Structure 1
């Protein structure tokens, strides 16, 4: 499990650029999704005829949902920065992964297994519970994904502690994603889990 050269992932200029792009997308989403919802609502009111309702319902519902979801994007962006400032990138070649088919994992949730920080032979399972920015990953981690898509996640960079939370990315880094641990998925001992909780994330 090689580590990239910088002391922390944040010391890598490419990582800072990737995070800046992540923040820009978050800001644009905060501006554009509410504007799209208000615009569709205004358009519907102006064109207020019953037969047009079905034309507006789906896009209005989706833009409202994305507006409501923006808080999770902000939280994920700044949590990822905290983790990237604390941990270095570690490179994992073809980590075990899949979608569902694990005890306690909902169907449709992608998961990855990383080595335990203190017991490398004992894997720690991390599940993508949040679908925020998970669509790209979910389309490539499943066994049914096309070979060319699976090849895009053959090498995964990970910064963090898999017993708690980590940022994963593909080389570049690109497609930053904060993956958080939940009780029951980490195969860590209670002693190691308590020690991990003391580390800042």
Structure 2
């Protein structure tokens, strides 16, 4: 399916439908995981046998973890909407990608490289720091992924600025994922932020990307 040529990704009806699905999954998880934890706790209490704790401990711990993780799913959905409403979709065919083995990514973290808007011959590495919704991507970007799986991520749709943040997806769009560039020291602005003018900084703000003070950038 060819990438759409709307002014912004949000102008594409298929993109809005994909985002509604993303939000629906966040809502569903917000209902399911607390209910699952409460049900497991009630089951354990009703049995009143100490050794049964070992039957319930792992699923209770996981559902408890997922209950608190849901905040990240909500945040990811609304960050995605902010970016989709400001950037158009771009299509990249087989961008360089992998898992670990680059200075910007720790072992086990998936990454992709995209051209810098003001210097297309320069590649910017974006790392999937958050594991929220990244399992699907990680299973297809690594060198050990089967050919059929790698083919699923050959064409990448991209809405954003690789110096700051973006939404990536496979054609459709499907499997929306917010990917944000982090500074090496995790405190200051993203590494290439000072190469961008103020007009490039403003659209990145909805994703809570770390961007430099616009007054400190060039015209």
Say if 1:117 and 1:161, in contact at 8 Å, map to a contact too.
yes
Unpaired runs of 5+ residues, structure 2, are 207-219
Structure 2 CA distance for partners of 1:29 and 1:197, relative to 1, 3 Å: same
How far the C-alpha of 1:183 sits from its partner, in A, is 1.0
Match of 2:135 in 1: 135
- Residue 48 (str. 1) matches residue 48 (str. 2): yes
Say if 1:124 and 1:187, in contact at 8 Å, map to a contact too.
no
Structure 2 CA distance for partners of 1:157 and 1:117, relative to 1, 3 Å: same
Match of 2:144 in 1: 144
Within 5 Å, which residues of 2 pair with 1:27-106? Answer: 27-106=27-106
Match of 2:194 in 1: 190
Say if 2:3 and 2:157, in contact at 8 Å, map to a contact too.
no
Q: Which runs of 4 or more aligned residues in structure 1 lie more than 6 Å from their structure 2 counterparts after TM superposition?
A: none
Residues in 1 aligned to 2:57 and 2:197: alpha-carbon distance in whole angstroms: 47
Give the 3-state SS of the residue equivalent to 1:120 in structure 2: strand
Residues in 2 aligned to 1:3 and 1:88: alpha-carbon distance in whole angstroms: 10
Instruction: Let me know the Cα RMSD of the aligned residues.
Output: 1.8
TM-score (norm 1): 0.94
